[in-house]
Structure 1
Amino acid sequence: MMLSTARGSRSRAGIDGRAPHPAPRPSTLAQRKRQLVATELTETALQLFAHKGFEAVTVDEIATAAGVSKRTFFRYFASKEDVLVQFLAGMGADMRAELAARPAAEPPSAALLHAVSVPLAACGDHAERTLPVVRLILRSPALLARFLEHQAGWREELAGELASRLGRDPAGIYPPLAAGMALAAFDTVLRRWSDGAGEPDPLALVSRAFALLAPALDGAGEE
């Protein structure tokens, strides 16, 4: 996710005091240039969607605002819908990568909290850019459907990673249930944050949510 992977100071270091893991860097000048263009196209498109509405924005507008040709846009994305699809896919990739990086002895509740906190930290750190986009996704029936579709995929990925960490059967009850609980917290926090209800910091909200979930996540016996 372009906006989420450009993590602010709280993304990992602010959550657990560790220095953030360095993001993988493209190995060649051409790859770095492609990444810069992709990032610019993504952020430009998302902001146009947020300010004008998804349906009102055209590919021509996105390309012009980003300072590239329409042909260049199609080198990176199949359609304007593809921009949002990649944005959402990035959230899931960030969560799974963080879960995989957590210490093996860490309780499931702590590992899952850190995992779902990665995109939430980015949202909080860059609220002026991400909040309009999140609101657009949550308030548009078509985009919300895509978001929920991606969440179903995230649940499977997190469940598989969690099963591997704990040495459990991925087809058992606990891994998908625990992953579902973590994503339910993520979804609830994202919605409350985007509505502007109460706590303005999504990390504070998700910490409160996991304080409620931790006994169930960490107290599960063998299946």
Structure 2
Amino acid sequence: MTSRPATTLAQRKRQLVADELTQAALDLLADGGFDAVTVDEIATAAGVSKRTFFRYFASKEDVVVQFLAALGAAMREELARRPADEAPSVALRHAVWRCVEDCAGHEERARKVVRLILSTPALLARFLERQAQWRDELAAELAARLGLDAGRELYPRLAADMALAAFHAVLQRWSAAGADGTDGGAGGGADGGAVEVAVLTRDCFAVIAPALDAVVRTPAAS
């Protein structure tokens, strides 16, 4: 039996600084706009030097990319945990919901961050780049669940694309709903954001479920 190596004090300190920088950056960028906020301002808000910032991140973009990487990891992990006999549409819906659930749990800042990503060309490009990586990971996981050949079958890649299109649609609708100061008309109360995202996710997957659950193997080339 093997055990994971214990985290050293230096590693814990490094992670703490990275977390402080990430939180400060996302708060400032979400409120002030990507172009207006400087690295100096982020470093000052986190209580570190500009030089320290660049030890952890190459640019402001990289802070947001790290945030996006966590979303993709959560989606893949949830899909891998779903029951093996669950319909693809249900498993993928839960995977996407797991990914956006954390956002809804921190609604005010998360809406602003998502809106920032979708409205800033440089960040949107990185977001789409990340989604391409997630598609390959989800396709591989789907292929393994269904006993398909990810390199030959069309279904895993197309299904992953559909799930990510639903994910993108949910984020767009959810983030736009709060732009005018309203809660989007769904849920309400302290957990209204979570309720709203759940409803949006359900509705999106209701549209694509028939295609997701029609698992058809690619005919062999003649």
Query: What's the TM-score bracket when you normalise by the shorter of the two chains?
Result: 0.7 to 0.9
**Deviates most, 194-203 or 173-182:** 194-203
Choose between structure 1 and 2 for higher RCO, CA contacts under 8 A separated by at least 6 residues. 1
Larger Rg: 2
Whole-angstrom CA distance in 1 between matches of 2:144 and 2:215: 16
Q: Which runs of 4+ in 1 moved over 4 A?
A: none
Whether 2:148 is the aligned partner of 1:168: answer yes
Over residues 158-189 of structure 1, what are the superposed CA-to-partner deviations in whole Å (9 max), with x where a residue is unaligned? 11111111110102110011001101110111
Say how many residue pairs are matched: 200
Whole-Å separation in 1 of the counterparts to 2:52 and 2:45 = 13
Map 1:1-223; keep pairs closer than 5 Å. Answer: 27-171=7-151, 172-196=153-177, 197-199=184-186, 200=193, 201-223=196-218
CA deviation digits over 1:42-70, x for unaligned, max 9? 11101111111111211111111011122
TM-superposed deviation, 1:190: 0.6
Q: Note the C-alpha offset of 1:29.
A: 3.0
CA distance in 2, matches of 1:183, 1:80: 25
When residues 26 and 187 of structure 1 are mapped into structure 2, their CA distance, relative to the original with a 3 A threshold, is farther
Distance in 1 (CA, whole Å) between partners of 2:160 and 2:42 is 36
Q: CA deviation at 1:198?
A: 4.8
Cα distance 1:26–1:215, how it changes in 2: closer, same or farther (>3 A)?
farther
Give structure 2 stretches of 5+ with no counterpart.
178-183, 187-192
**Amino acid aligned to 1:57:** V
**Whole-Å separation in 1 of the counterparts to 2:212 and 2:96:** 14
**Identity in percent:** 64
Alignment RMSD (CA, Å): 1.9
TM-score, normalised to structure 2, is 0.83
Shift of 1:25: 10
Change (3 A) 1:160 1:148: same
Query: What corresponds to 1:16 in structure 2?
Result: none
| More moved, 168-177 vs 134-143 | 134-143
Bigger shift: residues 33-42 or 123-132: 33-42
> Is the 1:155–1:179 Cα contact (8 Å) retained in structure 2?
yes
